[in-house]
Amino acid sequence: MAARSLGAREVRALAHPLRLRMLEALSHGPATASMLARDLGESSGATSYHLRSLAAAGIIVEDLDRRKGRERWWRRDPERVGLISSAPAEDPEYDAAVAQLESTMIGRDDEALRRYLHQRGEGEHSDEWRESAFIGGWTVYATRAEVEELSEHVVTWLRARRKPPEARDPDATLVYVTFRALPQTPTAGEDPP
């Protein structure tokens, strides 16, 4: 099923760093607020609150098959998690929600880069991982269709690596992957390197 575009309410629900981390954790399988709190180094009160916010926006659903007593299990709703596309015409609420989410995403990228550079400087990664890690960017001319094809390829590759712990390769390491394809207006006489 193709992902649908998210609305302002859903985008606003995602525009919180802890909610994004929780949603990523749920991509590996269902979890409780207590499990997420332990895995993310947060309080169960905080994870419970943010789980309810994600559920109210329809991004996650309770996994009733796993419920035991008061323990509530949550999972991503693959039919409800979509992509951010164009805003409805003249919708300032949607634009504000997207701006908030973009700010959160940029902050996450900056924090991941800062953490990696610090850990690299402290020698926390093996020589092999330091050689495999990548920071870079290119400027190219591409059509919208070509960028959509690239985005689809990247997302497909990433989704194939989202597995529960028992299904992961024992040599797998947590890797933060960021991807951007941003149209640019060239300055006079500029050509891609």
Average pLDDT, the chain: 84
pLDDT at residue 122 above 80?
Answer: yes
pLDDT digits (tens, 9 = 90+) for 69-105: 888 999 987 665 555 555 555 678 888 888 888 888 8
pLDDT for 4 equals 45
- Residue 142, pLDDT score: 94
Q: What is the DSSP string of 26-93?
A: HTTS-EEHHHHHHHHT--HHHHHHHHHHHHHTTSEEE-TTT-BTTB-EEEE-TTT--B--PPPTT-HH
Q: Which residues contact 34 (CB under 8 A, 6 or more apart)?
A: 44, 47, 71
Q: Stretch 163-189: mean pLDDT, rounded?
A: 85
| CB 10 within 8 Å of CB 59 | yes
Answer yes or no: is pLDDT of 167 > 60.
Answer: yes
The H or E element containing residue 12 is helix 8-14
Report CA dihedral (157, 40, 104, 156) to the nearest 10 degrees.
Answer: 10
The pLDDT tens digits for 136-156 are 888 899 999 999 999 999 988
Cross-strand bridge partners of residue 61: 75
Average pLDDT over residues 51-67: 91
Token pair, residue 103, equals 């700010």
Q: What percent of the chain has pLDDT over 70?
A: 88
Whole-angstrom distance, CA of residue 91 vs CA of residue 141: 30
- On the question of pLDDT at 36 being above 90, the answer is yes
Q: Is the pLDDT at 2 greater than 50, yes or no?
A: no
Residue 3 scores a pLDDT above 60: no
pLDDT confidence of 52, banded at 50, 70, 90? very high
Q: Which pLDDT score, from 0 to 100, does residue 1 have?
A: 30
For the segment 6-33, the average pLDDT, to the nearest whole number, is 87
Bridge-partner residues for 83, per DSSP?
Answer: 5
Angle at 102 between CA 40 and CA 124, to 5 degrees: 45
